[in-house]
A = this chain, B = another copy of it.
Amino acid sequence: MSLGRKLKYGMVGGGPDAFIGGVHRIAAAIDGQTELVAGAFSSDPRKSRQQGEVLFLDPSRVYGSYEEMAQKEAALPEGERIDFVSIVTPNHMHFPVARTFIEAGFNVICDKPMTRTVEEAEELVRLVKKHDVVFALTHNYTGYPMVKQARALVKDGKIGTIRKVVVEYPQGWLATPQDAAGQKQAAWRTDPARAGVSSCVGDIGSHAENLARYITGLEMESILADMTTFVEGRRLEDDANLLVQYKGGARGVLWASQVAVGEENHLVIRIYGETGRLEWDQEDPNYLWFQVDGEPLQKWTRGSDYVGPDAAAHSRIPSGHPEGYLEGFANIYRNACAAMAAKITGETADPSRDFPTVEDGAIGVHFIHKAVESGQRRAWIDASYSPPA
């Protein structure tokens, strides 16, 4: 990237009580390639101002609404106005905010799931194409170096044709009715108006889907979902078990839970091929377990000489010096920023510096809806996705 300056960005959402806004800001800061210069941090202007002060922003660029922000930033001269916007609101705002900024010509980094409906998702796909902007979705788990290594090993045929994928994502933080008790993070995630049709699959099952697809390249053919709401009074499911039949014959188990007491953020994927297997655990992310049939299990470690170029390029410090969630998240930012910088300078972005795209987002939203449908029908259903013509 020879842009010669930091990329400027603004944030929508991420006010004082939010969790994911802070994560995005750290992810953006880690590599010293971005500068936060604007924000509409809350629908409450006082809170937005407060947050702007905490972040040392020029008050003239702390806005009362995202519409105002899009309009006023677009009016600033190039080089001064933001290069991209980070959208870190609850789900229901992703679409209107993203549409507004895309239509104003801004690049977008958006939290997941992308939208509440498939229609909105496909509308964003069209808009991104039409306005030729960079759009990155923060399915952050694909930013981990050893996830990239897993993908490379699959691509290189090191485990043979895949037979079985087991991906699980248990959390326990919603085991009690925190949402009813007013915990903010819990409240919106279980509110259909803000979260969409699903809580558990929408919030975390979609990460599992994205991770499995990223590593294996497999596309779902049919799914069977069992969706359960365990906590009384909750309006969306807090537990989901799915069986998957992939195109080409592989089989899958995908389960997620928000009521798995004691579990924290335990996204784990295991992939069994004809000649080898892989296992990766988000809570121990610096390692990838790889085994060839008949040989000892191997512990691959991030930063080692034997890892491939994709993992190496997404790692900042030597092996044994653990990287974590924030560094993985930062890789999504770094790659999206590289794509933006390349767009500005007219260069071609390095395709190995990938990040989840608007199309990934649409597949994810489609998956969420199919899971809900299968759960309601108690039957196997077609889950294949065809993008609109």
Which residue numbers of A lie inside 8 Å of B, CB to CB?
4-6, 19, 22-23, 25-26, 29-32, 36, 53, 55-56, 159, 163-164, 166, 168, 170-173, 175-176, 224, 226, 228, 230, 239, 241, 243, 245, 249, 251-253, 255, 257, 259-266, 272-277, 282-286, 290-301, 303-306, 316-327, 378-380
A293 touches B29 (CB 8 A): no
A6-B56, A261-B275, A380-B378 given; A316·B26 CB < 8 A: yes
What are some 5 contacts across the A-B interface (CB < 8 A)? A4-B53, A29-B31, A166-B255, A264-B320, A296-B299
The CA-CA distance from A303 to B327 in the complex, in Å, is 18
Q: Which residues of B contact A172 (CB under 8 A)?
A: 272, 277, 293
The CA-CA distance from A290 to B296 in the complex, in Å, is 9
Q: Which residues of B contact A6 (CB under 8 A)?
A: 56
Q: Which residues of B contact A166 (CB under 8 A)?
A: 168, 255
CB distance from A222 to the nearest CB of B (A): 9
A6-B56, A163-B259, A272-B260 given; A265·B318 CB < 8 A: yes
Q: Which of B56, B251, B326 contacts A30 (CB 8 A)?
A: B326
Q: Which residues of B contact A325 (CB under 8 A)?
A: 317, 321-323
B284 touches A164 (CB 8 A): no
Number of copies of this protein chain within its complex: 4
CB distance from A192 to the nearest CB of B (A): 21
A176-B293, A318-B264 given; A226·B255 CB < 8 A: no
A226 touches B241 (CB 8 A): no
Centre residue among A30, A175, A323 by max chain B CB count within 10 A: A175
Q: Which of B163, B296, B316, B379 contacts A326 (CB 8 A)?
A: B316
A283-B320, A306-B296 given; A261·B273 CB < 8 A: yes
Q: Which residues of B contact A251 (CB under 8 A)?
A: 226, 228, 239, 241
Q: Which of B168, B249, B255, B298 contacts A298 (CB 8 A)?
A: B298
The CA-CA distance from A379 to B377 in the complex, in Å, is 11
Q: Which residues of B contact A226 (CB under 8 A)?
A: 224, 243, 245, 251
B301 touches A296 (CB 8 A): yes
Q: Which of B4, B253, B262, B300 contacts A276 (CB 8 A)?
A: B262
B326 touches A323 (CB 8 A): yes
The CA-CA distance from A161 to B260 in the complex, in Å, is 12
Centre residue among A6, A264, A283, A293 by max chain B CB count within 10 A: A264
Centre residue among A19, A163, A286, A290 by max chain B CB count within 10 A: A163
A277 touches B261 (CB 8 A): yes
Q: Which residues of B contact A170 (CB under 8 A)?
A: 272
